[in-house]
């Protein structure tokens, strides 16, 4: 018996990049080992390089054809690599890696990332500062790689998810690699350096992916409290008015509270109130949505919390940003239309 043959073949095909003939022949060689030695090929029997060597020594005695033994050797070693790969893929993200992934997904969900415009991507130093990781490497990119990005890149690769760390780039003043990821990004994925077409495809896939579903299927549940473009910094200017740096994405309690004081903690799309539904536990809980699409905002401008912000529930907030930003009025119209269809179909 060979444990997880289909997973093994998928690994050979998708991770190792072997041709289909080799992918199909390797399980045959493993079957030969089980037949000659009367053993099962499982995670228990193939658990280390030493166990592989022991099996191959026994096999060498019983096989007369030297070339066939060599093929069995390659197949068995690949099986051990497959098991090690599965273990790595199943390993959980550490807290820093999870924070970075949440941060990147929040920017994707906000609509700020344009696949074809690297000016909308995220410089290494900005990410490092936003997440408050130490800048203790040779460069900000090295520091970020050390504290979170390297581990996250490996986890994404092992789990066959888009290489979303490609939206983290050098700033536009970097000599030689302006608005491009570091060389290690391409090296890790075994791609030609500065392969813009591949990087762009990875970002496009990341922007189109249903991250909630894909991560949940792998046992990862990120916070749903994403930071959207409405969130402002703490620089106060003339009472309730704030200066917003669009790419800062830092919460500001004053702006949020000013919005809620004006409109209440009730969703202005669906009229849902957490306090009414959950009681005391839900009091004051609501998301705050910025009315102006990120693509229409310059690098800095003044935001008026009462004019520019609206309270929305998390579900409606997600729908406002899903598959391209739409207005509150458009979403309300879609909800009313859907309700009308449901009534007529009864």
Per residue in 147-164, pLDDT (tens digit) is 999 999 999 998 889 999
Class level of CATH domain 5-90: mainly alpha
Q: Give the integer Cα–Cα distance in Å for 321 and 110.
A: 6
Q: What are the extents of the domains in the chain?
A: 5-90, 95-216, 242-344
- For position 123, what pLDDT does the model report? 96
Residue 329 contacts residue 268 (beta carbons within 8 Å): no
Residue 200 tokens read as 């762009």
In this model, does residue 15 exceed pLDDT 80?
A: no
User: Which residues, in sequence order, are bridge partners of residue 41?
Assistant: 2
Per-residue confidence at 339, pLDDT binned at 50, 70, 90? confident
Q: Which of 160, 194, 163, 162 is nearest to 177 (CA)?
A: 194
Per residue in 177-234, pLDDT (tens digit) is 999 999 999 999 999 999 999 999 999 999 999 887 788 667 676 654 444 333 333 3
In this model, does residue 276 exceed pLDDT 60?
A: yes
| Distance from the first to the final alpha carbon of the chain | 54
Per-residue confidence at 23, pLDDT binned at 50, 70, 90? very high
**Residue 231, SS3?**
coil
In this model, does residue 4 exceed pLDDT 80?
A: yes
In this model, does residue 307 exceed pLDDT 50?
A: yes
**What distances in angstroms separate CA 96 from CA 91, 92, 154, 256, 334, one per listed residue?**
14, 11, 14, 27, 39
Residue 115 CA neighbour count, 13 Å, CB half: 13
Q: Give the integer Cα–Cα distance in Å for 246 and 160.
A: 31
**Which of left, alpha, beta for 111 (phi over 0: left; psi -120 to 50: alpha)?**
left
């Amino acid at each position: 018996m060979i444990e997880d043959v289909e997973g093994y073949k998928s690994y050979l095909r998708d991770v190792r990049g072997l041709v289909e003939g080799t992918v199909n022949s390797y399980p045959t060689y493993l079957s030969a080992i089980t037949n000659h030695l009367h053993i099962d090929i499982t995670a228990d029997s193939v658990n280390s390089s030493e166990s592989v060597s022991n099996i191959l020594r026994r096999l060498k005695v019983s096989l007369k054809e030297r070339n066939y033994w060599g093929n069995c050797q390659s197949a068995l070693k690949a099986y051990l690599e497959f098991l090690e790969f599965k273990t790595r893929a199943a390993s959980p993200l550490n807290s820093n890696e999870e924070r970075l992934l949440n941060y990147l997904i929040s920017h994707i969900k906000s609509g700020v990332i344009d696949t074809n415009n690297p000016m909308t991507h995220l410089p290494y130093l900005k990410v490092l500062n936003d997440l408050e990781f130490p800048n203790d490497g040779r460069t900000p990119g090295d520091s970020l790689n050390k504290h979170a990005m390297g581990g996250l890149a490996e986890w994404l690769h092992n789990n066959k998810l888009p290489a979303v760390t490609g939206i983290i780039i050098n700033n536009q003043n970097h000599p030689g690699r302006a608005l491009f990821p570091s060389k290690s990004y391409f090296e890790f994925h075994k791609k030609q350096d500065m392969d813009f077409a591949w990087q762009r495809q990875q970002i496009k896939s990341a922007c189109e992916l249903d991250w909630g579903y894909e991560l949940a299927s792998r046992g990862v549940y990120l916070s749903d409290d994403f930071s959207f473009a409405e969130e402002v910094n703490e620089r106060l200017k003339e009472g309730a008015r704030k200066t917003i740096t669009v790419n800062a994405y830092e919460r500001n309690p004053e702006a949020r509270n000013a919005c809620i004081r004006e409109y209440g903690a009730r969703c202005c799309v669906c009229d849902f109130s957490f306090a009414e539904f959950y009681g005391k536990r839900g009091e004051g809980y609501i998301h705050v949505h910025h009315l102006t699409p990120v693509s229409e905002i310059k690098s800095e401008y003044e935001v008026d919390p009462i004019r520019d912000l609206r309270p929305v529930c998390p579900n409606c907030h997600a729908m406002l940003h899903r598959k391209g930003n739409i207005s509150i009025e458009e979403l309300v119209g879609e909800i009313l239309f859907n309700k009308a269809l449901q009534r007529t179909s009864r």
